[in-house]
Amino acid sequence: MTVPTISALTKKTTVPLVAILFLIGFASRLFPHPANFAPIGAIALFGALYLPRRLAIVLPLLAVFVSDLVIGFYSLPLMAAVYGSFVLTALIGLTIRRRRSFGAVVLATLAGSALFFLVTNAAVWGFGTLYPHTGAGLGQSYIMALPFFRNSLLGDFFYTGILVGGLEALRLGKKRFLFKPEQAL
């Protein structure tokens, strides 16, 4: 048995929802915000849980790419690490898509944040000049990035809670609205 996606439930709402998610992801990178407190990881996870599979990967990457067109590109290897991290988050979401539960979403959010932290900071160390290319340099890269990791965790849990929690609340409310106790008699 497969878990129905939003598109299977309400095809009319898929396009507006994707547009809203894109705009949130795009705009969040343009306006001032705490470093790494952004919805892109949450959009990748949400998309993997509820949208058609191809959109799960394309949507967050498109939001980041279009915003990069506006704010400017940077080191190609670092960009590849950032973009790749969001793909990994979407892939994590796709693995729990059929067994979606509160605990699974919490663990997937944590895993996505942790992978983003590990991959991007390894890339900063490996492709950058800030840290010596030694084990100690890699450790220093991770230690210096801990405040950013905290913000990533907070942002990912905040936005995932809003997106996933909001949709599940709507779905639950719709089920309650459709069920009339007198029909049970």
In a domain? residue 43? yes
Query: Could you give the CA distance from residue 68 to residue 160 in angstroms, rounded to a whole number?
Result: 23
Question: What would the pLDDT profile of 36-87 be if each residue is shown by its tens digit?
Answer: 999 999 999 999 999 998 888 999 999 999 999 999 988 999 999 999 999 9
* Look-up of token digits 């049970």: 184
Would you mind telling me the total number of residues written for the chain in this entry? 185
The domain in which residue 98 lies consists of 6-163
- Number of domains making up the chain: 1
Q: Could you tell me which of 66, 159, 79 has the C-alpha nearest to residue 119? A: 79
Q: How would you classify residue 131: left for phi > 0, otherwise alpha for psi between -120 and 50, otherwise beta?
A: beta
Write down the residue that tokens 């790494």 correspond to.
36
Give Rg (Cα) of the chain. 18
Domain-located, residue 1:
no
pTM score of the predicted model = 0.86
Q: What is the DSSP letter of 33?
A: -
Over residues 112-116, the mean pLDDT reads 98
Least confident of 9-18, 24-33, 83-92: 9-18
Within a domain: residue 141?
Answer: yes
CATH for 152: 1.10.1760.20
Residue 80 falls within a domain, yes or no? yes
